[in-house]
Amino acid sequence: MQFDLSEDQVFNAYKKLKHYFFYDSTTLFVRKKIADFENELFLEADDISSVKRKLKFKVSDCLEKILSKSDYLYKNIDLNILPKKIKENKTDIVTNSSKEAFEIEIEKMNFYLDAPVEIHILSVLWVMFAGRYLDNNLRDFNYANKLNLDIDEDDKPQENLKLYKPYFVQYQQWRDDAIKKAEDLLNEKRNVTILSLDIKEYYHSIRLNLESMVDTLDSCIKGYYRYKGEYLLSEALDLSRKLTAALHEIHIVYYENLKKYRKDSDRKVDPANCSLPIGLVSSGLLANYYLADLDSHIIQKINPAFYGRYVDDLMFVFSDLDNHVKPNVVSPTVSFIYDNFVKKGIMDICPKNDLANSVFFKNPEDKNCEFIHAKNDINISNFDFKSYADIGLDREELISRLAHSIDFRIRVKEGFEKQHSQSREDNIGGNLLTIQNEKIVLHYFNWKESRAVLNIFKKRLEQQRSEFRFLPDEDEINDEFDEQAFSLRYNDSENKFRSIQDYSENKYGASKFLAKKIFALSYGDIEEDKTTDKQILTFFTEATALNFYSLWEKVATYFVLQGRTDHLINFKRNIEFAIKKIKIGENAASIVEEKLTTDLSKFLDVSISISLVLNPALKFGFLNESEKSWLIDIKKTVAVIRKSNLFRSSLISLPGINYTSYLFNDDSLLENDYNKFTRKSKHSNHENATYADFDYENNFYNGEEINTRLALLAPNYIPFHEVNILKIINTVSNLDEDSLNEKLAPKPYNLKTDTPSQNSVSKFDILDIDKINSIPDLAFIDYYKINYSWKTRYQSDEKRFYLKQKYFSIKMNEELKSGLRSFKVTIEGEHDEDFSNDRIDKRIAIANIKVDTDNINKSIEGFPNLKRARRKTVFKLLNEADRLDADMTVFPEVSTPYSWLRLLAERSHKRYMGIVAGLEHWVNNKGVALNLMVTILPFKVHEYKTSLIKIRLKNHYSHAEKHLLKGYRLLLPEELSKSYQMSYDLFHWRKSYFSVYNCFELADIYHRSLFKSKVDFIIASEYNQDTSYFSDIAGAWVRDVHTYFIQVNSSHFGDSRLIQPAKSYEKDLIQVKGGINSVILVGNLEIEKIRKFQLVEYHLQKDFIETGKYSFKPTPPDFNRANVRARINNSQFFPSDII
């Protein structure tokens, strides 16, 4: 059979699939399947074309087998069963042991598709080449599973990772839009009603015949290609029909498996009308399409002020429906839905039993009879309440309970005529979708009354959003666990112990706790935390452990980060003990219990395997024979998942190392000593590295080069700053005399066949730049290889060159005397609406923090202090700078462990804040002690935020610094090469120009004069006790260069300050010293104001000063006003004016 897709298109679908499940934590089974698939299919693939060719063959073969109606699907499709709802063990006492039970009954289950990866790829291809045409018919009311496909000029989905818009973004927007509309109406002095509905078991209740959709798809495609040519139309129709036919067969086999596991499997249902497979990518789009008619009917017949649907959750906002909200009725919610939905033909009212039917309808046999709203009108003539009164239920309470037993059913597709019926075509769902009464939420707000409920809800939403905006405080996290992981319910005042009615476990709180702990641990040394360990092990037991199975991987990751394999094994045993207690409810077939326990055990194994990827070398002790055998199997799975990169790569200590051949060994990805990652191996060609290529003496691999296969199969977009850090580590950790002087040289480079190396540059790249200053340019080659080399349209040096112009440029200016160089570093990027980055004036945060001598020594000795207390201080300072809306935060010299470069880069791009910091001395593999100043500047390209990380080697080590380092017998950079050229950077970022100096460099009078008239501010990061001398330098410099001056020193030395070129009493905008606590101080730089002052001649400046318009001192002689004009215009300087 001819398959009308290219290898590139099939591979694009595979990349989208892998990307989708990389972020979906609910379906770890599919992750493992993808990892196994890659390990089997691509292990021997040695180039891009080989990978794509093999994949195309596998998918084509799968499609042919499906369309030939062979037994392929029946042999290869099954279901994975996981718990959805566990029966609560209710007692009449409040006890912390109530969850312990002889057995754990599972009331409801989720049934996930268990199918080969090829079937999942076909599902994605259906979305790309068939389903996307349906999307044009879907309205804006739908918020979930919204397509995010970019279509190229050939009307084909572009080669990228996008498929659906991120679910968490869409969910927030859905919720926020509803609340905003309600607030707007209240502000307009209109009463508001908010209604929330939930469809019961939506995916399983759907009855969809894909064969019957072919005509609809054909019509959509014909409309799309109306003016695009007959050939394109014929090709699109043929492909859509083939993929739809295949998807239809998949649905049938899934549905038949579903019935096999349900107790009602003997029901006769048309197999062509199937439910949607949970876990299949295409089901999201089809779930939206299935309710498209409902969406239209709601707008046409009800027309609420707001209507939004998130999969099966419906939210409405109505205005001025006062007469429909009836408090003096049996059930206000039932009455409201009856009046606004049933009467208008959107839903049918469906009492669950004959009793409710007889009580609320005067003539239950008449389908057109009215529902009885008023309590006094209830038909009770033939009903005896006495038996219920004997057990404490009065008449009113009984009627209320009966009212809550009433469900509603949505009329879908052909069923929009009135259907007052209690029957169901089968117990799985039928053609009517059920709205559960107990999940209906109705709120009514009078515009004259308090809005407390809305305000509190909004406040909680904001608190949830900010939970992960700021870096966590670990001490507070520990204190908050019980409060976050458990919810108490009161029946009276919260101040009374006897008011505690019940408690329940809080999944969101537990998940948040684990996420914060994991994040913090990823940036520090292992420290014993008995309190947290005990809390987690106690919490995840019995029914709670099963109920929160989606958190197992997080728990395992926490223990892996802690290095506590003993706790990991105890956690595993707790889960296994709970699994053995499982009992299935009456609504399931007998084979389900065995299947459920098996699948839960497999899910546990995959969860632990994914966590162990971070450190497979962890040692396990005190295992029984069964567990020893289990561990052998687990480590095999770990190796496979590791090579697929389907794990928490955000936690690895060196970003990007997972795309080098280092990934092929079993060493830790959590190592904080960056030097160990790049110790030289026995072989220089790592492209097809095997275990024989590793240096067993050092146990680390020289993963300097990006591995082509790993880059090609990357499951996610790799931001530039991660590759930037990787290139920094590779360069610095092995820097010696040869590499210090090494320059870029031209060499042809082919993205298809070559692996980037330090010399892999083309005629489009900048030449004659030393190795340290060339790091960002070289990093971009690797960045491009990972994210673009698999795309057919980007496989050229020219494409890479022009793309890089959207990111940044580093250009060397003219050489000065003594070989001194200046580099112009321009950050490009685009406007980001989430941050006020358009402002020219800058808000600068100064970190007043003590630089401890002991920490300096520990870093030199190779054991930097990464403990919790220090981590907490840095987290606090970065959070405070963020809260104060700082554009840039500046830390002192040698104040930050170099392994926290990742932390600074993450905060920079996530909070869109520039960061300047002095790294602690980095003693590399060659024994060279490097004092590096790092400048991290965020920017945005398209929808991605990232940062440029520019390191600069200190030009002048101080005498005391040399004395200390030589005492440890370390080499200084100046001793490696007498010909090494010193350099400084002139940064152009967000309409401002600045440079950064490192402490003793300020003492060089010639170096201080480099950027006269070219900068808006200068940053001096220091660790200096001679504050009097440097204070004099600062006072003179700010006048001589006429610029703002930011000086940040260790707090115990003091004189951290923000200075402007003004009179003495107005010069210091900030000046601080001392304090036992570390703090952030923020000052504003009025850049626009000082530029306007600098632009005019001396005599006008004097006039402005005398009239009080400006408080600045006049500019010095020979101040180049053409450079001022260039800064005002946000443009480049004239070549002759650069230096």
Q: What is the 3-state secondary structure of 35-54?
A: HHHHHHHCCCCCCHHHHHHH
Three-state DSSP string of 871-907: HHHHHHHHHHHHHCCCCEEECCCCCECHHHHHHHHHH
For residue 64, the Cα-to-chain-centroid distance in whole angstroms is 37
Q: Which of 201, 117, 27, 112 is nearest to 595 (CA)?
A: 112
Residue 320 lies in a domain: no
What is the C-alpha separation between 686 and 709, in angstroms, rounded?
11
Say what the pLDDT of residue 480 is. 66
Say what the pLDDT of residue 93 is. 46
Say what the pLDDT of residue 820 is. 86
Q: What is the pTM of this model?
A: 0.89
Confidence of residue 472 (pLDDT cuts 50, 70, 90): confident
How many helices and strands (H and E) does the chain possess? Answer: 42, 28
CA angle 1119, 1124, 1127 (to 5 degrees): 150
Residue 273 lies in a domain: no
Residues sharing a CB contact under 8 Å with residue 643, sequence separation 6 or more, in sequence order: 35, 38, 39, 663, 664, 710
β-pairing, 192-198 with 441-445? antiparallel
- pLDDT tens-digit series, residues 1001-1010: 999 988 988 9
Examine the pLDDT at 346 and tell me if it is beyond 50. yes
Say what the pLDDT of residue 1137 is. 46
DSSP letter assigned to residue 209: -
Range in 95-99, 162-166, 212-216, 521-525 the model is least confident about:
95-99
What is the C-alpha separation between 577 and 929, in angstroms, rounded?
53
Range of the domain at 1055: 836-1086
Confidence of residue 481 (pLDDT cuts 50, 70, 90): low
Residue 12 lies in a domain: yes
Residue 939 lies in a domain: yes
Say what the pLDDT of residue 199 is. 93
The residue among 410, 438, 466 that closes a domain is: 438
Say what the pLDDT of residue 704 is. 54
Q: How many domains does the chain have?
A: 5
- 801 and 852 together in one domain: no
CA atoms within 13 A on the CB side of 404: 9
Examine the pLDDT at 526 and tell me if it is beyond 90. no
- 1049 and 937 together in one domain: yes
The residue among 267, 282, 306 that closes a domain is: 267
Q: Kindly list the distances between the CA atom of residue 369 and the CA atoms of 325, 346, 360, 363, 980, in Å, as whole numbers in the listed order.
A: 21, 17, 10, 6, 94
Residue 175 lies in a domain: no
Examine the pLDDT at 836 and tell me if it is beyond 70. no
- 516 and 406 together in one domain: no
Examine the pLDDT at 483 and tell me if it is beyond 90. no
Residue range 134-138: average pLDDT?
84
- 885 and 929 together in one domain: yes
CA angle 20, 25, 29 (to 5 degrees): 85
**121 and 14 Cβ atoms separated by less than 8 Å:** yes
Q: How large a percentage of the chain has pLDDT more than 70? A: 83
- In terms of phi and psi (left: phi > 0; alpha: psi -120 to 50; beta: otherwise), the region of 844 is beta
* Helix, strand, coil in percent for the chain, rounding step 5: 45, 15, 40
Q: Highest mean pLDDT: which of 323-337, 576-590, 619-633?
A: 619-633
Question: Sign of the C-alpha dihedral, residues 732, 737, 743, 748?
Answer: negative
- 623 and 697 together in one domain: no
Range in 100-109, 369-378, 559-568, 945-954 the model is least confident about:
369-378
Q: Which residue has the higher pLDDT, 270 or 82?
A: 82
Give the bridge partners for 951, in sequence order.
934
Examine the pLDDT at 92 and tell me if it is beyond 70. no
**680 and 705 Cβ atoms separated by less than 8 Å:** no
Say what the pLDDT of residue 268 is. 55
Residues sharing a CB contact under 8 Å with residue 960, sequence separation 6 or more, in sequence order: none
Give 1027-1088 as a DSSP string: HHHHHHHHHHHIIIIISEEEEE--TTT--EEEE-SB-HHHHEEEEE---SS-EEEEEEE-HH
Residues sharing a CB contact under 8 Å with residue 1112, sequence separation 6 or more, in sequence order: 1042, 1060, 1061, 1062, 1090, 1093, 1101, 1105
What is the C-alpha separation between 883 and 1116, in angstroms, rounded?
37
Helix or strand or coil: residue 556?
A: helix
Say what the pLDDT of residue 381 is. 53
Residue 258 lies in a domain: yes
For residue 104, the Cα-to-chain-centroid distance in whole angstroms is 34
Average pLDDT of the chain?
Answer: 84
The residue among 805, 822, 855 that closes a domain is: 805
DSSP letter assigned to residue 650: G
Range in 256-270, 433-447, 925-939 the model is least confident about:
256-270
- pLDDT tens-digit series, residues 210-255: 988 999 999 999 998 887 878 788 899 999 999 999 999 999 999 9
- pLDDT tens-digit series, residues 793-816: 887 778 888 889 889 999 887 666
Q: Where are the alpha helices (DSSP H) in 936-1024?
A: 959-967, 973-976, 1005-1008
Say what the pLDDT of residue 819 is. 73
Helix or strand or coil: residue 302?
A: helix
- 476 and 545 together in one domain: yes
Residue 831 lies in a domain: no
Q: Residue holding tokens 């793309």?
A: 803
Q: How large a percentage of the chain has pLDDT more than 90? A: 55
Say what the pLDDT of residue 265 is. 47
**623 and 673 Cβ atoms separated by less than 8 Å:** no
Say what the pLDDT of residue 390 is. 58
Q: Which residue has the higher pLDDT, 159 or 4?
A: 159
Q: Kindly list the distances between the CA atom of residue 910 and the CA atoms of 511, 560, 870, in Å, as whole numbers in the listed order.
A: 21, 26, 22
Say what the pLDDT of residue 797 is. 79
**349 and 408 Cβ atoms separated by less than 8 Å:** yes
Residue 19 lies in a domain: yes
- 800 and 843 together in one domain: no
Say what the pLDDT of residue 345 is. 87
- 1035 and 898 together in one domain: yes
- 18 and 30 together in one domain: yes
Examine the pLDDT at 427 and tell me if it is beyond 50. no
Helix or strand or coil: residue 669?
A: coil
Say what the pLDDT of residue 899 is. 93
Helix or strand or coil: residue 167?
A: helix
DSSP letter assigned to residue 102: S
Confidence of residue 595 (pLDDT cuts 50, 70, 90): very high
**160 and 9 Cβ atoms separated by less than 8 Å:** no
- 141 and 225 together in one domain: yes
What is the C-alpha separation between 648 and 554, in angstroms, rounded?
10
Say what the pLDDT of residue 324 is. 66
Main-chain dihedrals φ then ψ at residue 397, nearest 5 degrees = -70, -40
Examine the pLDDT at 488 and tell me if it is beyond 70. no
- 604 and 703 together in one domain: no
Q: Which residue has the higher pLDDT, 1057 or 44?
A: 1057
- pLDDT tens-digit series, residues 745-756: 444 444 444 443
- pLDDT tens-digit series, residues 381-423: 545 555 555 555 666 677 777 777 788 888 765 433 333 333 3
Q: Residue 917 sits in a domain of what CATH number?
A: 3.60.110.10
- 22 and 72 together in one domain: yes
